[in-house]
């Protein structure tokens, strides 16, 4: 086949001398030319070692008869900018990396590419870039760092810092953690965003099988880097081996099922859709939600599990995960090996891959004096840690376009709760309140104006860690934000609330003391304002203060009802409502649910046709529900007045008097349609 690089030489006569001046030989000019793109730099441990791997890649390219040219676009580190305004640059850096890869490759075309990265924005930036460039490509994951003494890993630093701020540990203990949390290069040793994205690259078929999340200090990683170089030259000479030929919707579904199995970072819900977009494929939060439901969660690795991330490779890595969920995968998808996923998995079993992994696991056991087995790290399918994936997309009147929770890292006590809102307009203000114990049990802490348009969507890591590290708060409050979280975040946290506050999202309207209903267990998960007591009081005040009064005796009914309903406060109202519903259920009266449903149908049938003239269909449906809400309240008040007794005649009387008051005034009917009568869920 005709190589793109050789066509370029014919079109640009200056190309050969310029490359000779760079150090190429005349023989190199005629070889398969491979761009070796990496995020190497002294920016952080995830990139500091990549030049060693770059040179191994180049050796592999040379062994296969090609020539590798080095290109760089260094990434930044979220951990280093955490807690400062520098974190606002984090998400934007992903786009810059993808842009530079596109520029590098298209300014001087190559025949193939090898891409090396380890961390949060570098990996998705490289995957987006290679999709745009669309030349035969292999991705090389940069691996993970080792755990420190006592299996210390970096995600625990937030906990140590919060404990120090609260006076629970001294500075010496904090300093020990700082000095030992990152003992080597590589991505942070937990299933955060960096580790998750390395795994996603392999799950998509863009990295060699078994390469994701190897310890960066392992000699196996050097050999795999060299093999990636060889493979890049091979696929440059093959037909239909560009990324667009390999990656399909089935590939993404495989990756998302792996994401569920590993309890991957919520940041994947930002990165995977962006990568898919470059391939012309639409992935949404709903795609994740659909595939996670009933999916097996298998990986017992931090932050949701017990073991450091290096154990992932020792247990067999992505291939071992895929073997457990094999029946749910598309095994016929193509990969960078030139073989299907199913063929790759069978080959790994034959070539001793799992035996090599087991050898390294035994070395880990000796190092830490433990006896960890493969099954301790990656659970068998029939002994899964969980059976409903690891994330869920929540919707409600606070997040009509969705919000994200990683329920595998959330205490089960918080799966269903009603909390009182504590809104803050910046993370700094919120973190200060948490550390100074100004946040109490039963609070729903909001951090808003931290979305993509608001401030670049920084991570709310320190606040989430301050909450989850507090034994009391971690199981009794929630953190809700239009920002995002670190892949290391744990606890009762909900992010990505959409629309964001700066875009007019409902999260901007939350007020101190609003009741927040959070139910992660329902078939349709929700997070919404649910202040029933205040809503009902608003209904009654509206009737007595805002509507035209037609009959004097009606005013007496309203005043008396308000006193009976609300004079005992919220607890009294709630208790009366509970006893009333119980009483009605045990009475000889028709089902209350059916009675109220019939009244709703009546109001809708009477007024809905009016929408022909004004188009306000929703207002008329809302008002029908509102009418029934008020009738229920009036019934409850009458029941209290009559010493907890009620007759069908009372219902008929109240419906008649209410209908007369409302329906005899066009102004009242119009006003009723303007009121937000009920809680939208």
Q: Beta-strand (E) ranges in 455-594?
A: 478-481, 493-498, 515-519, 526-529
Chain centre to alpha carbon of residue 141: 22
Rounded to 5 degrees, φ, ψ at 338 are 85, 5
Distance (Å, whole) CA 206 – CA 136: 10
- The dihedral built from the CA positions of residue 273, 90, 400 and 527, taken in this order, carries a sign that is positive
Per-residue CA distances from 503 to 124, 351, 493, 497 (Å)? 26, 54, 21, 11
Residue with tokens 């190092």: 367
Within 8 A by CB and 6+ apart from 583, the residues are 639, 644
Q: Bridge-partner residues for 518, per DSSP?
A: 417, 527
Q: Tally the C-alpha atoms within 13 A of residue 529's C-alpha that lie toward its C-beta.
A: 23
In which element (H, E) is residue 116 found?
strand 112-117
Per-residue CA distances from 373 to 311, 359, 386 (Å)? 10, 11, 19
Distance (Å, whole) CA 540 – CA 558: 7
Cβ atoms within 10 Å of 536's Cβ, excluding its own: 19
Residue with tokens 């599990």: 305
Give the β-pairing of 416-424 and 515-519. Answer: antiparallel
665 is catalytic: no
Percentages of the chain per state (helix, strand, coil), in multiples of 5: 55, 15, 30
Distance (Å, whole) CA 204 – CA 248: 9
Distance (Å, whole) CA 122 – CA 145: 16
Distance (Å, whole) CA 160 – CA 177: 7
Residues 560, 563, 564, 569: what is their CA dihedral angle, to the nearest 10 degrees? 170
Catalytic one of 216, 486, 498, 561: 486
Q: Which two tokens stand for residue 491?
A: 């606890």
**Nearest in space to 491 (alpha carbons), one of 401, 436, 415:** 415
- The dihedral built from the CA positions of residue 586, 590, 591 and 593, taken in this order, carries a sign that is negative
Start-to-end C-alpha separation, the chain: 59
Q: Bridge-partner residues for 138, per DSSP?
A: 114
Rounded to 5 degrees, φ, ψ at 428 are -60, -45
Q: Could you give the residue numbers annotated as active site?
A: 486
């Amino acid at each position: 086949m005709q190589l793109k690089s050789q066509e370029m030489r014919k079109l640009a006569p200056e190309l050969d001398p310029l490359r000779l001046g760079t150090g190429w030989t005349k023989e190199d000019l005629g070889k398969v030319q491979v761009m070796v793109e990496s995020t190497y730099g002294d920016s952080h441990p995830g990139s500091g070692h990549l030049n060693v791997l770059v040179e191994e890649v180049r050796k592999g390219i040379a062994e296969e008869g090609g020539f590798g040219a080095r290109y760089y676009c260094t990434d930044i580190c979220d951990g280093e900018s955490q807690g400062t305004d520098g974190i606002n640059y984090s998400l934007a850096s992903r786009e810059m990396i993808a842009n530079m890869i596109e520029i590098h490759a298209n300014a001087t075309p190559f025949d193939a590419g090898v891409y090396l990265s380890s961390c949060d924005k570098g990996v998705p930036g490289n995957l987006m870039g290679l999709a745009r460039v669309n030349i035969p490509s292999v991705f090389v994951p940069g691996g993970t760092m080792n755990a420190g003494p006592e299996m210390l890993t970096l995600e625990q630093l937030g906990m140590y810092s919060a404990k120090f701020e609260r006076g629970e540990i001294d500075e010496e203990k904090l300093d020990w953690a700082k000095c030992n949390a990152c003992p080597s290069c590589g991505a942070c040793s937990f299933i955060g965003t960096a580790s998750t994205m390395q795994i996603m690259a392999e799950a998509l078929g863009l990295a060699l099988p078994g390469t994701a999340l190897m310890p960066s200090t392992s000699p196996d990683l050097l050999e795999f880097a060299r093999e990636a170089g060889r493979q890049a030259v091979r696929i440059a000479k093959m037909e239909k081996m560009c990324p667009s030929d390999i990656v399909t919707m089935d590939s993404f579904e495989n990756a998302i099922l792996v994401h569920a199995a590993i309890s991957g970072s919520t940041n994947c819900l930002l990165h995977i859709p962006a990568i898919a977009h470059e391939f012309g494929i639409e992935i949404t939060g709903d795609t994740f939600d659909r595939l996670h439901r009933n999916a097996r969660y298998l990986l017992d690795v931090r932050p949701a599990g017990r073991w450091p991330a290096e154990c992932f490779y020792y247990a067999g890595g992505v291939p071992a995960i895929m073997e457990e969920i094999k029946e749910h995968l598309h095994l016929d998808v193509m990969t960078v090996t030139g073989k299907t996923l199913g063929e790759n998995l069978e080959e790994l079993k034959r070539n001793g891959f799992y035996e090599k992994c087991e050898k390294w696991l035994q070395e880990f056991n000796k190092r830490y004096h433990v006896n960890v087995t493969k099954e301790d790290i990656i659970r068998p399918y029939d002994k899964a840690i969980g059976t409903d994936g690891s994330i869920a997309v929540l919707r409600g009147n606070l997040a009509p376009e969705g919000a994200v929770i990683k329920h595998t890292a959330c205490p089960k006590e918080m799966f269903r709760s009603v909390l009182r809102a504590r809104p803050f307009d910046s993370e700094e203000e919120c973190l200060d309140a948490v550390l100074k114990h100004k946040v109490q049990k039963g609070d729903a802490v909001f951090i808003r104006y931290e979305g993509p348009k608001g401030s670049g969507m920084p991570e709310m890591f320190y606040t989430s860690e301050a909450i989850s590290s507090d034994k009391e708060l971690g199981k009794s409050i929630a953190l809700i934000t239009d920002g995002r979280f670190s892949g290391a975040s744990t606890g009762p946290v909900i992010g990505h609330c959409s629309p964001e506050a700066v875009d007019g999202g409902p999260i901007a309207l939350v007020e101190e003391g609003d009741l927040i209903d959070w139910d992660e267990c329902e078939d349709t998960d929700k997070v919404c304002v649910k202040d029933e007591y205040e809503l009902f009081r608003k209904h009654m005040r509206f009737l007595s203060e805002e509507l035209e009064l037609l009959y004097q005796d009606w005013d007496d009914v309203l005043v008396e009802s308000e006193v009976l309903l609300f004079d005992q406060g919220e607890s009294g109202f709630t208790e009366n409502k509970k006893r009333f519903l119980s009483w009605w259920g045990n009475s000889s009266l028709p089902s209350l649910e059916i009675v109220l449903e019939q009244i709703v149908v009546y109001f809708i049938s009477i007024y809905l046709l009016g929408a022909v003239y004004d188009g306000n269909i929703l207002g008329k449906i809302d008002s029908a529900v509102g009418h029934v809400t008020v009738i229920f309240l009036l019934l409850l008040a009458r029941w209290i007045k009559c010493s907890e007794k009620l007759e069908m005649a009372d219902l008929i009387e109240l419906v008649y008097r209410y209908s007369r008051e409302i329906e005899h005034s066009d102004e009242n009917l119009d006003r009723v349609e303007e009121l937000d009568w009920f809680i939208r869920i």
